[in-house]
Every structure is written in structure tokens, then in C-alpha cells.
């Protein structure tokens, strides 16, 4: 039997990673995702493997297998990321997002924008079961509306993410909800009902904060909103017909069509509408002097795979409608692959298990059991950089412990979601944190302080455990 590294030794790669990432973010700022963070992860991975092979005789084959399995586990997410890149580009140039922004600015009052944005994302994410799809579609439009109304991007992204992750946590269509229930052997709808005890209060507090912040916002300056609306109307062909695309996407989602197929069909439909309603923009993107088949085809392809930049009379709008296409996702995909290497190395070396065993020692009363699970889930999100892996590891690690102590499995499944699903988006090198920062063009550390639902949820889980509300132990 192989000797596992001690917790102290196991923490060494984590300490090195934190130091390297701190230095990288300090030096490169928002450009840290362009390569610095990836190098930091690969450097830490090599340190982890070196320690395991040199001092604990763990063969390279074990590391290779663990890393391969990790990378294989995120292939679907990578494909979705590429399609989201294409969708975000073509939804913008086709006029879908500008149309949503144009009408949204007229409907949503600035004083209640943050609250409305959060509630809209709650409803859509519950119906879709996907925070990624919610943020990649309506989230982008809400970012535009919020910026036009003068809100800081951190507040806007915080409201969008808070709402989107509510649905990701409680929707019966959500992969994380299903995974947390299945790993802990908890019936799905029992798991969802039990989560409401911590989830609903967290959302209510979040909405109160956003309402107060919105009422404190200066909504008297309507001139800026009027300028953005006029610039949108001048640059794009704004028409209600373009709303067919988000409606069709919603129908596909309601019919439970797989995410990849839904996003692909939505991208395809938006491409057709771009040819119909925005041919001049496609010609401008292609750089051609006249509109013909070649220029339209080139502009359409460039919108899907590459960066676009359209000039308007409004500086805010010019920045808002710039797109990155599929190529804009490559740094995120690169980072995800490097993060999976690090997670695989930590697992294969036994360092991950060694560190998490520390949490088990403090599990005596209910509040300490739940607190240890929350801390472990958060740590696994930091160490493995993937919420799916973290959910599986947390559920498997604590399942027997909860059973021996007489707790019902739904307590573990709820705590796992409160600590893993919700916090994954707050970590810059986690797949969720990287993805949402890329989609919304807001660095993770900028929106983190405003993701109140994501911050409150794990604390609410501990608070409810301390009170002992609805926590029943089997005799």
C-alpha cells in the first residue's frame, strides 16, 4: 500500500499555486488569463508530480490516467464553450442582443434594474437548468442594459450570476442538482425541497440588497440611456422580428433539447437572421466595399469564429457590441485544460485526500459536520478547479460519515450544493469562474463582491445547521 503524503506536504502545491496566481494577477491584471494563469497551474502541477514521484514512488502512469480522465470529463463543457462563443458573437451582430437592450431599457426602470436582472435570470435558469446558457444569452443583454443605465459592471454581473446560479442549484433540469442527489443517494425532488430551506432565504436577502442598491442609484440621468438607444437604432436594424430567436431558443429549452443542440440551432438561426436584417454590418466586418455573396459569407464566418469591432458615435456602445467569437474562448479552454491537469495530479498523488481528511477531524456536532463539508467543498473547488469533480468527491467522501452519525442523506446533498455549485463561479481558475468572466467580459475578482447569493448560500447552510431547523437524526 502506497504511503499518502502528509497534509502539510499536500498543502505545498496549493501554497505555491496561490503565490503564483497572486503574482500573476498583480502583474498582468485582467490579462492574467492570456497565459500567466495557465503557466502557474502547469508549474504547480509539475511540483505536485515531482513530490509524488520522488518521495512517494507514485508512478507516472497514475498521474497520466487521472489527468486523462479529468480532461475527458470536461470535453462537453469545452464544446459548449466554443458554441457559446459563436452564439454570443452572432446574437450581437444579428441584432438580437441590441434589440433586447433597446426594448429592455424602455421597460426596466433603472431603480429596479438589479433586482429585475436577478429575477429574470432566476426564472430562465430554473426553466433551463443551466447557468451557462442563461448568462450566455439573456445575461449578455442585461449587461448591455445595465451599462447603458450607468451601473458598474461588477454590480450587473453580480445580479446576473446570483440569479443564474439559483436555477443551476434548484432546477430539476440542472446537471449539478441531479449529480449532487445521485452521488449522495438522495431522491431528486426531496433534495430540491430540502435545499429550499437555505436557498430561498439566501435569495430573499440578495434581492433586498439589490433593491436597496438600485434605489440608491441615480436614475435621473436619462440622457445617457436615450443616447445609447439612438446609437443602437442607428447602427442596427432594430425589429421585433429578431425576438423570434430568443423565443425559439426558449421553446427548445422547454422541450428539454440538449444544451449543445439548443445552442447550435440558436446560433444557426441567428446567422440566417443576420443575413436578412444586418447585411451592411456583415459587409463592414468583412472589409468589403460592396455587399455580395462573398462579403456576406466572409462577414458571417468572421463573426462566428473571430473578433469583431463596429464603430458607433457612442463610445460605451462601441465597446459593448464588440465580440470575440469562438476564438475568444480559447484562453478559457486552455486554462480549463491546465486546471484539469492540476486537479488530476492532486488526486493521483493522494494529496487531495490527505488535505480533506483534516476537515473530518473537526466533525462532532451538526454545525461542525456541515461546516466541515462546506469548507471541504470550497477547498475542492479551489484545488480541482471543476464543480463536477468537487461534487463527486465531496459526496463520496462524506456519505459514510453522515450515515454513521445518523444524518439523512439530503443534509449532505444540500450542503454539497451550497458549498460547491454556488461557489465555483467565485474562483478565477475554476471552470465556472473562467467561463462567466469570459462571457460577461468582467474579471472574476471584479464581480465576486457582488455575487451576494453565492456568498450568502454557504453561510446560510451553516447558520441553519447551527439553529438545527429541519435537521433530523435517525435513532
Q: At what angle do helices 188-215 and 452-467 cross, to 10 degrees?
A: 120
- For the chain, give the secondary structure using H, E and C: CCCCCCHHHHHHHHHHHHHHHHHHHHHHHHHHHHCHHHHHHHHHHHHHHHHHHHHCCCCHHHHHHHHHHHHHHCHHHHHHHHHHHHHHHHHHHCCHHHHHHHHHHHHCCHHHHHHHHHHHHHHHHHHHCCHHHHHHHHHHHHHHHHHHCCCCHHHHHHHHHHHHHHHHHHCCCCHHHHHHHHHCCCCHHHHHHHHHHHHHHHHHHHHHHHHHHHHCCCCCCCHHHHHHHHHHHHHCCCCHHHHHHHHHHHHHHHCCCCHHHHHHHHHHHHHHHHHHHCHHHHHHHHCCCCCCHHHHHHHHHHHHHCCECCCCCCHHHHHHCCECCHHHHHHHHHHHHHHHHHHHHHHHCCHHHHHHHHHHCCCCCHHHHHHHHHHHHHHHHHHHCCHHHHHHHHHHHHHHHHHHCCECHHHHHHHHHHHHHCCHHHCCCCHHHHHHHHHHCCCHHHHHHHCHHHHHHHHHHHHHHHHCCCCCECC
C-alpha of 404 from chain center: 34
Instruction: Provide the residue-wise pLDDT of the chain in tens; the chain has 475 residues.
Output: 567 788 889 889 888 887 887 788 778 765 777 888 889 889 999 999 999 999 888 999 999 999 998 888 778 778 877 887 888 889 889 998 888 878 877 787 888 889 999 998 888 788 667 788 788 878 888 888 888 888 999 999 999 999 999 988 888 767 788 778 877 888 878 888 899 999 999 999 999 999 999 988 776 656 666 777 788 888 899 999 999 998 998 788 778 788 788 889 999 999 999 999 999 999 999 988 888 899 999 999 999 999 888 888 777 677 767 788 898 888 878 877 887 888 889 889 988 778 777 766 667 788 888 998 898 889 888 877 778 778 877 877 787 788 888 888 899 999 999 999 899 999 987 878 888 998 888 989 999 999 999 999 999 999 999 998 888 776 5
Give 175's Cβ-side CA count (13 Å radius): 12
Nearest to residue 377, comparing CAs of 417, 326, 410, 342?
417
Indicate the burial class of 401 (C-beta count within 10 angstroms; 0-12, 13-18, 19 or more): middle
What's the rounded Cα separation, in Å, for the pair 342 and 437?
21
Give residue 51's pLDDT: 93
Give residue 29's pLDDT: 65
Domain chopping of the chain, boundaries: 70-329+343-475
Main-chain phi, psi angles of 254, to 5 degrees: -60, -30
Q: What is the pTM of this model?
A: 0.72
Residues in a beta bridge with 323: 308
Who contacts 449 (Cβ-Cβ below 8 Å, separation ≥6)?
Answer: 154, 158
Amino acid at each position: 500500500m502506497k504511503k499518502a503524503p502528509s497534509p502539510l506536504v499536500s498543502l505545498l502545491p496549493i501554497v505555491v499555486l496561490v503565490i503564483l496566481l497572486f503574482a500573476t494577477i498583480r502583474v498582468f491584471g485582467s490579462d492574467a488569463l492570456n497565459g500567466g494563469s495557465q503557466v502557474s497551474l502547469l508549474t504547480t502541477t509539475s511540483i505536485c508530480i515531482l513530490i509524488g514521484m520522488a518521495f512517494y514512488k507514485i508512478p507516472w502512469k497514475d498521474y497520466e490516467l487521472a489527468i486523462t480522465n479529468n480532461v475527458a470529463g470536461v470535453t462537453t463543457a469545452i464544446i459548449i464553450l466554443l458554441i457559446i462563443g459563436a452564439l454570443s458573437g452572432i446574437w450581437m451582430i444579428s441584432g438580437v442582443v441590441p434589440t433586447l437592450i433597446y426594448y429592455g431599457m424602455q421597460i426596466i426602470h433603472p431603480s429596479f434594474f438589479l433586482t429585475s436582472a436577478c429575477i429574470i435570470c432566476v426564472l430562465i435558469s430554473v426553466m433551463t437548468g443551466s447557468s451557462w446558457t442563461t448568462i450566455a444569452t439573456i445575461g449578455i443583454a442585461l449587461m448591455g442594459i445595465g451599462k447603458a443605465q450607468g451601473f458598474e459592471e461588477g454590480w450587473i454581473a453580480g445580479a446576473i450570476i446570483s440569479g443564474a446560479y439559483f436555477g443551476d442549484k434548484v432546477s430539476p433540469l440542472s446537471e449539478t442538482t441531479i449529480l449532487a442527489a445521485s452521488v449522495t443517494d438522495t431522491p431528486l425532488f426531496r433534495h430540491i425541497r430540502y435545499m429550499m430551506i437555505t436557498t430561498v432565504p439566501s435569495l430573499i436577502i440578495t434581492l433586498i440588497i439589490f433593491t436597496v442598491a438600485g434605489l440608491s442609484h441615480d436614475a435621473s440621468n436619462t440622457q445617457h440611456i436615450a443616447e445609447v438607444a439612438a446609437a443602437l437604432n442607428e447602427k442596427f436594424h432594430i425589429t421585433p422580428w429578431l425576438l423570434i430567436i430568443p423565443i425559439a431558443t426558449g421553446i427548445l429549452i422547454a422541450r428539454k433539447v440538449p444544451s449543445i443542440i439548443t445552442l447550435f440551432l440558436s446560433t444557426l438561426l441567428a446567422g440566417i437572421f443576420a443575413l436578412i436584417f444586418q447585411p451592411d454590418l456583415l459587409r463592414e466586418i468583412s472589409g468589403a466595399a460592396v455587399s455580395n455573396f462573398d462579403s456576406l459569407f466572409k462577414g458571417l464566418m468572421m463573426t462566428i469564429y473571430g473578433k469583431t469591432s463596429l464603430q458607433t458615435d457612442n463610445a460605451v456602445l462601441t465597446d459593448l457590441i464588440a465580440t470575440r467569437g469562438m476564438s475568444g474562448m480559447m484562453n478559457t479552454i486552455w486554462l480549463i485544460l491546465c486546471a484539469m491537469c492540476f486537479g488530476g495530479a492532486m488526486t493521483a498523488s493522494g494529496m487531495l485526500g490527505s488535505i480533506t481528511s483534516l476537515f473530518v477531524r473537526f466533525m462532532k456536532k451538526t454545525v461542525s459536520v456541515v461546516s466541515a463539508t462546506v469548507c471541504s467543498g470550497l477547498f475542492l473547488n479551489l484545488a480541482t478547479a471543476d464543480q463536477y469533480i468537487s461534487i463527486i468527491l465531496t459526496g463520496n467522501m462524506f456519505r459514510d460519515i453522515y450515515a454513521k452519525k445518523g444524518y439523512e442523506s439530503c443534509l449532505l446533498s444540500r450542503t454539497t450544493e451550497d458549498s460547491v455549485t454556488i461557489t465555483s463561479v467565485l474562483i478565477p481558475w475554476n471552470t465556472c469562474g473562467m467561463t462567466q468572466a469570459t462571457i460577461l467580459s468582467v474579471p472574476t475578482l471584479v464581480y465576486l463582491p457582488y455575487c451576494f447569493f453565492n456568498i450568502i448560500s454557504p453561510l446560510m447552510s451553516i447558520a441553519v445547521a447551527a439553529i438545527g431547523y429541519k435537521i433530523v437524526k435517525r435513532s
